[in-house]
Amino acid sequence: MQIIHTIAELRHIRPTLGPELALVPTMGALHEGHRSLLHRARKECAAVAATIFVNPLQFAPTEDLARYPRTFEADCYMLEAEGVDLLFAPTPAEMYPAGNTTILHVREVEDRLDGASRPGHFAGVATVVAKLFNLIAPTHAFFGQKDAAQLAVLRQMVRDLNFNLELIACPTIRDPDGLALSSRNRYLTLEERSHALLLSRTLRHIEARLDEGVRSSGVLFAEAHELLKADPTVTLDYLAIVDPDTLVPVASATPGTLIAIAASVGTTRLIDNLLAP
């Protein structure tokens, strides 16, 4: 695996990777969820590039940029084991040199779900991902379904800016007890982790009710809120039943409707979701 840190090196190496190239953009602190993206990318494409960049633009000043886990050596080990051809790991100054002022807004979608609680977050995500798409020119890009709102923003961006690539959503990977894998899980104490299971448990309850034919968002909300309010350790940010592309609420869930949840346990903000059966 070639490891590079500069755009100049990237411009030099990109043509050697051939026409079909997968991109797996990450912020590092890789876990089995990332491994599944890498694995799928390797299976589907002739060459695979990954990026590690903790993007300052998608963190608000009050958020966890400084304490975001950085595990570069272990990350390289996983990328190598998964057959990645190229790792691009730029510095913030390389991506955002002094005088850089362009920010990409995916209007409306960027203000929904996590975008409502984290103003500016999705503009930061869209900007960095657009830059990576321009720099790396992938034919396929792989993202986790766990970040469902991010996926909606990026799909809209790919459509609106005519990026010539296929955006592929890969299923959420979970621990055996149901907790969705996230780089932020490592912030949880054992005690907090057990409370965090309420997110996936609530989604499982909704899924079971959907299977039973309960489709009304109002009914599903009422039941989910009953479960959630039983544990005051879990501070709900949002529970949303929405169209997966626009993130606009729907009155009743149809197959493919996105049911998404975000909550804080201690100081750790977690998200999870399911697509209605």
Candidates 1-9, 11-19, 25-33, 257-265 — which segment interacts with ligand PAF by CB under 6 A?
25-33
Q: Does 25 bind ligand PAF (CB under 6 A)?
A: yes
State in angstroms the smallest separation of the CB of 236 from ligand PAF. 22
| 105 vs 209 by CB, closer to ligand PAF | 105
Q: Which residues contact 277 (CB under 8 A, 6 or more apart)?
A: 207, 210, 211, 255
| 58 vs 268 by CB, closer to ligand PAF | 58
Q: Which residues contact 246 (CB under 8 A, 6 or more apart)?
A: 108, 109, 112, 152
Alpha-carbon distance values, 194 to 14, 166, 265 (Å): 45, 37, 10
Candidates 12-20, 23-31, 35-43, 93-101 — which segment interacts with ligand PAF by CB under 6 A?
23-31
Alpha-carbon distance values, 71 to 112, 123, 144, 146 (Å): 31, 26, 20, 21
Cβ 109 vs Cβ 136: under 8 Å:
no
Q: Does 147 bind ligand PAF (CB under 6 A)?
A: yes
Q: Which residues are catalytic?
A: 34
| 104 vs 128 by CB, closer to ligand PAF | 128
Q: Does 33 bind ligand PAF (CB under 6 A)?
A: no
Going residue by residue from 105 to 134, which x/- string records binding to ligand PAF, judged by CB under 6 A?
--------------------x--xx-----
Instruction: Report the C-alpha gap between 193 and 198 in whole angstroms.
Output: 9
| 53 vs 263 by CB, closer to ligand PAF | 53
State in angstroms the smallest separation of the CB of 234 from ligand PAF. 23
- Tell me which residues touch ligand PAF (CB under 6 A): 25-27, 55, 58, 125, 128-129, 147, 150
